[in-house]
Every structure is written in C-alpha cells, then in structure tokens.
Structure 1
C-alpha cells in the first residue's frame, strides 16, 4: 500500500504567490490560420542518406522493477506433547497431549484448555496446497458452527499456527470402531442407544439441507457428560456424530464428491441404475453401521457385494424388528430406501411385517398374526422383485 504524504506547510505569501502562478494562464503564441495545430503536424521526412545505411540498433527495453522475492514455502509442523498454543481468535490457551487418532485428512491429539476442559484438536494434513487446506479448514469450521447439535461433536475454536490448521472440538472417549476390540463389547446391546443419538443428528443435518457422506464406526463417538459436582464420576454416556470434513449441501451432491471408497453406496457406484444421489446415501451408511452393531462384527463389503445386495441380505437374517428396519435402509435402489432418519427410527421401534410370529395380537383388534397393521407397512410401494434388493 502506497501512502501519499502531505507536503509541508508553506508561508501564506509563498502559498498565495504559488496559487497565483498556477491559476494564471501561460500566454501561447498565435498560430497561423493556415498552419494546423502542432500536435497534428507530421514531421518533415528525413533527408536521404548519402552513406550506406547502418544496421538498426535494437531498442533498449524499459527498465523494470526488480521482482519481489518469493515467500518461503509453508511447512506443516505437528504439535508436540506439552506444547502450549494460544489462539488469537479466542485468547484461549491449549496444552497439547499425545496423538489419539488419525484420518484421511487430519491427525487428532488430546489437549486441555485453561478451563480444564478435556478437548481434542484436529490438525489438518498438508495433502494439498496451503490455500486448498485453508479453504477446507474454513469450510469445515463453517459447517461445524452451522450444524451445532447435541449429538454432533461440539466445536470450540479454530486457528492457524506455524502454517498449520487447528480445529478444537470436544473430546470423546472412543469411537465405535475402537469398542469392537473390547472383549466385553456386545454390539446388539449398544444398537438402540447409538441409533437414537445418531439418527437425531442425521435428521438435523438433512433438515438443514446437508448430507454428511461419511457415517461409519470411526466417525461415531462415545462421549461422557461431565458431572460438575463430582469430577471423578465417569458421567453419562452419549453418542455423537463427528468429522464433517466432506459434508456437502444436498444440491452439491454428485458421483465426483470425495468419499471413502470402501463404503460407497450403490447409487454412487452406478448412478444410472441405482440413483439418484441424495440424502439417502446417509441412510444407507446408517444401515451399514447398525448392521455391524447387530452382528457385533466389523464388516467391509466389496463393490461387487454392494451391487449384489449382500448387506441387505444379511439384514433379512436378523431378528425382528431389525430385519425389517435394516432391510429397508439397505435397499440398493435409493428411491426404494427408507426416506428419512426419523422413519428409520420408527421402523426400529415397530415390529414390522417380518416379525408377525412375535406379535401378540391385540384383543381389541383381532387380526391374523401375519397381517400387519397399516401403520406398520413400509412407506414405499412394493417394487418389483428385482428392485426390492
């Protein structure tokens, strides 16, 4: 930025004299009426040279200002345990802890702030240019602030330190993926509490006009609510959906969006046959997550198995009402799938057509045990046999 300086103050007499000189027109000689103005008069031709013509001399290019030196390249510097970093945005100070996780786009560390809040810091990996990582960090922060919900991991702060982007969130105890390694873990016991929290978060995100696109066991976390009267109390457990790094507006969904290759839904693999690509990709991912809890086993399906409908087939083998609810959520054709997260929650809490043998008939409403009530019928019309998978 160039700053224009004001000239020093002149004495009044000199100023008036200078102003008079500037305002008085300078007399010009009268031009001959037959002579055109000077600026339009062509210059007379140069006399013919009598000696051999010298070779033309190359014009000297105008002097140019020296190019500014390029700034040093920006480098990624991960935090060290015990390092203390202060955010200029909030003036909060964070003491870094050990690494506790790593994803495709970031590394997660423990940290504690000045209020003794147990937090986590996501440090974005420099897998792209600084400007691209900056845009990704700002986008994720905007989504985290916009999509604040009791069952979405809470964001506290964000800043840049030593060319590295930090996002501070609440710290959760474990991801669901970590629980599968515990000998005491029985997924079916956890299924309904997880579903209640997760589906509320997904329903909120969809109502806001977004799709998460990355719902899996590693992105759903166990969080505990602090007991302020007894800090040693482990607190009450809740489940929260995290990592909104590739969350998109529903209008921006396309096959080209960044997604985990190992959990692509059928409509992304083959949009022309199984599309459209919309919010029900999240419903499919919720179905996959709950299916793994029901079997208490981590599963990954190949694209061939996904297109063949193997997840849905496994869901039909579960007891009621899981068989009905998850079979519907895991249908290959998106248009025939469960429509909303709220509908999936209702299906999980109703017997469903596949559980007729477990239904105790209501004496006030006698009906054959294999005929479900109208309220228990699936919302979508029954498709042809090939489309129900």
Structure 2
C-alpha cells in the first residue's frame, strides 16, 4: 500500500464534491472527479482510490436522507454477489453527508441501450436474443438472492441496472452486424435506496414512473416480490427491442407492455410477456421459476432465429452479415423487430425518479 498518498485523517478536508479529496474512516484517501448521476436522494460522483489507483463511484446522501442511506448500507452488506454492485465502504464526510464508496460500472442499462447496444440490436436480431438471454440469467440470479434475503428492491429500472465490460464498450460493439459479435459485458443490480422488507412493503413509496399495475391500483392486488419481476421484465423488453420504452399509467393498467412483448412473435417475447402480466398471480411465482423459462429457450438448442437462419449458415457460414442472410431467405423478410416497434416514438422518454 502506498502510504505516502494518505495524509493525517484529522486534516479538515472539504465535504465530498467535484475536484476534492476525502478521507474515509479507514484512513483511505479518495479523489472525487466529476458528477455522473443525480437522483432524488443524492448525487453520484466518479473518482479514484488513491491507495490502489482504482476507479470508484461515490454516492453522497445528505443528512436529512440518512435513514435511506443507512438502509441501503445494510442491504448491500447483507447482499454480497458478483451480480450486485459492490460496496467497498461507507463513511461520513466533514459536511455530515453519508458517502457510499461503490464499484464504478461502465454504464447503466439506459445508456447502454441508447448509445451502444440499441443500433446494433435493431440491426441484428440474433444478437438481441443472445444478449437478452444473458442479461435475464444474470439479473434474475441477483434478484433470486435478493428475494431469498426477504428484501424487495422496488426500484428496478434501466437507470439502476449497471453494465460492466472487460474492454471498452466501443471496441466490444465494433462489429454489430456479425452474429457472434456479442459484447463481453456483465449486468448488475444497484441502488437499494428504497428497498424494503418483503413482509412490510409500503403502499405509497414507489417510483411511479415504472410502477406495475398492482401498485397503481392501490390495495386491490397484493403487493409482493412480483413487483420486482415485473420491473425486470420491463428492462429485458427494452433491451430486446434495442430501445428505451416509456408507458403511461393507463397503458400499464391496460397491459400494453405485455401485448407489445407478445407481438414480437418470438419465444423470447413470449417469455418476457410472462413477467409483464397485469395481475401478479399470473406472473412467475419467483425469480428462480422465471429463470427456468429463459433457460428453456437455451435448452431448446435452436431459437427461432437459429431455425430461420439454418439454411443460410450452411451456405454462408456463421459470420455472414445479417443483410446477406436476410436476402438469402425470403421467408424472413416479412418480420423484423424494428417493424414491430416502429409505431413507438423514437425519442427516449424513460423518466427516472
């Protein structure tokens, strides 16, 4: 450890903000660089650990949100998994703010879809199916751990699902038109600010821009862990379509997300629609059961897209560009994901809390 970077922890450093140095209770010095996110309960900065020269994210919450901050710290300590954003430590700075030092992800799912994955997934539907299957297995694995700990996240949306990659996202998606050009990315869950005990889910503390129908209907339906299953399915639908989607309150009550997933006319769309059903009793009973639905696609050996391209791969090989394979098989020209979602506004309208 390079101790020359760590001054006396009794120095009166300014509160955590852009361009400052902070020292934690463990006598570790951090350099805070810039703001990367702003939420209703705090601000997130990027920076570095000066001791180990590694990237970190700093979530700073003011004293009047201390109860939410301590709640999030307790949840993250109890949940240690490669599929959940890692908490390195938490401390109080000289301004009285609670600072959570966490793993710094390369992107969140919203930016990943719109900036990198979106154009390539709309161009190459095979990649969309494989990437969505990978995301479903990793996110539902994390959700199963969360629910086994009797915790409900209650705020799963593309802004709270994070993407990490081995190389830069630009180099990973350099050749999106090839079938096997999947990015080496991992999906993780973060931001447990409003997470609650599953046995005591509050009726009024939700992110209403993403709330499932049972929360919008009040006490008519029982609110339980299937709130998270609905929100995960909504994120997977956006990844599968390669674009961010937004639905009004009435559209969610009418079941439009589930109908959109079924209208894709693929096995993946049907499985996603199971988690988007309006009544929670008709959704998968647990995250483990929902994983099995996605694994059934993988176990089948050939997805819809592989069956449709079987003749093309025999003629051109597995690395044939999508446009060449499409022209070689006229039966496939009547279907595309872009055609199904063409009626949706092109502007990303996802509203974070």
TM-score (norm 2): 0.70
Counterpart CA distance in 1 for 2:92 and 2:117 is 41
The Cα of 1:297 is off from its aligned counterpart by: 1.6
Match of 1:219 in 2: 160
Answer 1 or 2: higher relative contact order, Cα 8 Å, separation at least 6. 2
Match of 2:79 in 1: 147
Counterpart CA distance in 2 for 1:141 and 1:190 is 31
Match of 2:30 in 1: 94
Match of 2:264, SS? Answer: coil
Match of 2:154, SS? Answer: coil
Which of 306, 310, 321 is residue 252 of structure 2 equivalent to? 306
Query: Size of the alignment, in residue pairs?
Result: 265
Q: CA RMSD in A?
A: 2.5
CA deviations on 1:135-193 (whole Å, 9 max, x unpaired) are 22111111110112110000011111112221000100000111233265344253122
Structure 2: gaps of 5 or more residues = 1-13, 122-127, 168-182, 308-353
The Cα of 1:237 is off from its aligned counterpart by: 2.6
Match of 1:215, SS? Answer: coil
The Cα of 1:247 is off from its aligned counterpart by: 0.8
Match of 2:107 in 1: 174
Q: Is the 8 A contact 1:225 1:236 kept in 2?
A: yes
Misfit runs of 4+, over 3 Å: 183-187, 357-360
1:88-167 → structure 2 map (5 Å cutoff)? 88=25, 90-113=26-49, 114-124=51-61, 126=62, 130=63, 132-161=64-93, 162-167=95-100
The Cα of 1:236 is off from its aligned counterpart by: 5.1
Match of 2:324 in 1: none
Match of 2:146 in 1: 205
Structure 1: gaps of 5 or more residues = 1-75, 227-234, 361-389
TM-score (norm 1): 0.64
| Correspondence 1:253 to 2:190 | no
Match of 2:296, SS? Answer: coil
The 3 A distance-change label for structure 1 pair 222 and 155 is: same
Q: Is the 8 A contact 1:330 1:337 kept in 2?
A: yes
Counterpart CA distance in 2 for 1:138 and 1:238 is 27
Match of 1:349, SS? Answer: helix
Counterpart CA distance in 1 for 2:267 and 2:136 is 14
The Cα of 1:260 is off from its aligned counterpart by: 1.2
The Cα of 1:244 is off from its aligned counterpart by: 0.6
1:40-51 → structure 2 map (5 Å cutoff)? none
Counterpart CA distance in 2 for 1:111 and 1:324 is 42
